[in-house]
Structure 1
Amino acid sequence: MKFSEQLATLPTVDHLSALELLDGDTVVARIENKPGQAGSLRVYHALYQEFGALDAIAADRGLRLYAEHTDDAEAHPGKHPNIDRLFELRAAGKALAVRLVAA
């Protein structure tokens, strides 16, 4: 399935303004509910719902959800930072906590 088809299967995130990723008490990333980030917010939110945190297993699932964008991110590091983060989590074997920010 293409990314757009994958997104259609994921829960909506209308109730969120953002999602924060935490390493301990430190916010290491924030994905906002705005154009250019809303798709990633849906992916990361779905991963949080399924796994409770972002670890190597969740990252692997996320890379499958990003579909064709995963190949593009692999070919062009830095172009897709939210996908790059999943590559890093998968490789490092560490986990990030998730904090949801209500709309």
Structure 2
Amino acid sequence: MAFADNLRQLPSIAHLAAVELLDDTGNVVASIPNQPGKTGSLTVYAALAAKHGSINPAAAQEGLTLFAEHTDDARQNPGKHPNIDRLLEVISSGLSYAVRTISA
């Protein structure tokens, strides 16, 4: 399924201003705001966190599937899709990130 189709299957993020990813010491290492160009990533990360409790290797693998055609583009163009690059890093390193949602 295409990324746009996958997004339609995920819960709404209208109530969110952002999600923050936290390392194992509680420091914010990334933030994905609810703004044009980021809403797809926010939708995916919020759904993954709700289902898996964190962004861990299993969540990251599912995320790569949800990002669909953008995952191949990210693999071919490192740095072009930083939120997909982060999922690839989680898988390769075994890292996990806690997720904090910021209400709108």
What TM-score, normalized to structure 1?
0.99
SS at match of 1:29: strand
Moved over 2 A (4+): none
Q: Which consecutive unaligned segments of at least 5 residues does structure 1 have? A: none
Q: What is the one-letter code of the residue matched to 2:14?
A: D
Query: 1:102 offset after TM fit, Å?
Result: 0.4
Q: Which consecutive unaligned segments of at least 5 residues does structure 2 have? A: none
**What is the aligned-residue identity percentage?**
53
SS at match of 2:13: coil
Q: What is the one-letter code of the residue matched to 1:76?
A: N
The equivalent residue for 1:10 is 10
C-alpha separation in 1, matches of 2:93 and 2:57? 8
The equivalent residue for 1:21 is 21
Q: What is the one-letter code of the residue matched to 1:86?
A: L
Instruction: Please state if 1:66 is matched with 2:72.
Output: no
Query: 1:79 offset after TM fit, Å?
Result: 0.1
C-alpha separation in 2, matches of 1:55 and 1:48? 9
C-alpha separation in 1, matches of 2:102 and 2:51? 18
- Output aligned runs, 1:1-103, within 5 Å: 1-23=1-23, 24-103=25-104
How many positions carry a matched residue from both structures?
A: 103
